[in-house]
Amino acid sequence: MSERLNTIEAAKIFQQQLDEVAVQSLVTGFMEQNVNGIKYTGGDEIKIPDIDMDGQANYNRNTGYVKGAVNVAYQTLKMTQDRGRKFYLDAMEVDESNFIAEATRVMGKYQKTKVIPEIDAYRISKLATCAMGVDGDAQAKYGYTLDGNIIKEIKKGIKTVRENGADDEVFILATYDTVSAVEEVSLGKLQSVTFNQGGIDTRVPSIDGCPLIYVPSNRMYSSIQLLDGTTVGQEQGGYKKADDAKNINFIVVDKSTPIAVTKQDIVRIFDPTVVQDLNAWQLDYRRFHDLWVLKNQMGKIYVNVQEAK
């Protein structure tokens, strides 16, 4: 019984730590701060609070304040991204005394190198799709090759989302080549700003006070293909650039526009006495995630892509 309890406690530790590290490691982690008070009890559904309250009323010196009502309702959203893997740690290499340390190392590396890039790529592709879908290409510029006008182009994106009502922090997600082009033009004169993500303060360069965040180019696609892990040619899992995808130079987005959530489902752990096929520890990793953008918020995203439309 004690071993089972220890396994359950270990699973809880993994779940909490992996969630914290995920938000801190994602270049899109700042989007996680848009929803407070989420209810999550496992699985692919989350409940987001929607608070409605009465407006201002006149104060009366004799009767005092007019009573007001506050109603809190929860909207249920379904996360469409349900991804995971099963891992084995050989019992000859990992015993009960070093299991947590070794499992943490393995799962941490898996999340950092495989899970985080995929979530970022999915979110960025979805933001790009939203911006490219606005009528009249009002939120997108196509066929742009990086040149000496790069800061002007980024400022155009910032102006566009500001004029469409962006009143929160505005972030710029850019490839390394884009950031390099900005640095060459600015000659080291960019001011730095600090933003908080997952409880960690990060200092980055900025344009018009908007944080400029470097994103690996293999996460900057207008669409991606998720590999299922079983189909021939997809056994390695993960994701790749979709056949019809375009390469993104940068995205400008209002911080409060995307509603992004990622949740680690309870890590299932089975010790070698339970696993039937192998003499090994078994770890089942499963992560749900998704991103939503309301229709009236599409104007707060701007994308600049390399290829022509």
Domain coordinates in residue numbering, the chain: 2-305
β-strands 268-270, 239-241 pairing: unpaired
Beta-carbon-side half-sphere exposure of residue 22 (alpha carbons within 13 Å): 26
Axis-axis angle for helices 2-25, 99-110 (nearest 10): 30
What does DSSP assign to residue 39? B
DSSP β-bridge partners for residue 264: 287
pLDDT tens, 241-267? Answer: 999 999 999 999 999 899 898 888 778
- Determine contact, residues 289/153, Cβ cutoff 8 Å: no
252 contacts 161 by C-beta, under 8 angstroms: yes
| Residue 4: predicted pLDDT | 43
Q: What angle do CA 46, 125, 252 make, to 5 degrees?
A: 95
| CA–CA dist 264, 77 (Å, integer) | 16
Q: Which of 184, 175, 299, 183 is nearest to 246 (CA)?
A: 175
Mean pLDDT over 160-177 rounds to 94
pTM here is 0.86
| Residue 172 pLDDT exceeds 50 | yes
Look over the chain and give the mean of its residue pLDDT values, rounded to a whole number.
88
Length of the chain: 309
Higher-pLDDT residue of 125, 59: 125
Q: How confident is the model at residue 42 (pLDDT cuts 50, 70, 90)?
A: confident
The region of weakest confidence among 65-74, 105-114, 195-204 is 195-204
- Residue 92 sits at φ, ψ, to 5 deg, of -75, -20
Read off φ and ψ for residue 297, nearest 5 degrees: -110, 0
> What's the CA gap between 119 and 292, in Å, rounded?
13
List the CATH code of the domain at 2-305: 3.90.1690
- Provide the pLDDT for residue 10: 67
CA distance readout (Å), 199 to 20, 28, 105: 9, 14, 22
The DSSP bridge partners found for residue 290 are 261
pLDDT of 19 reads 72
CA angle (26, 27, 29) in 5-degree steps: 60
d(CA 132, CA 157): 13
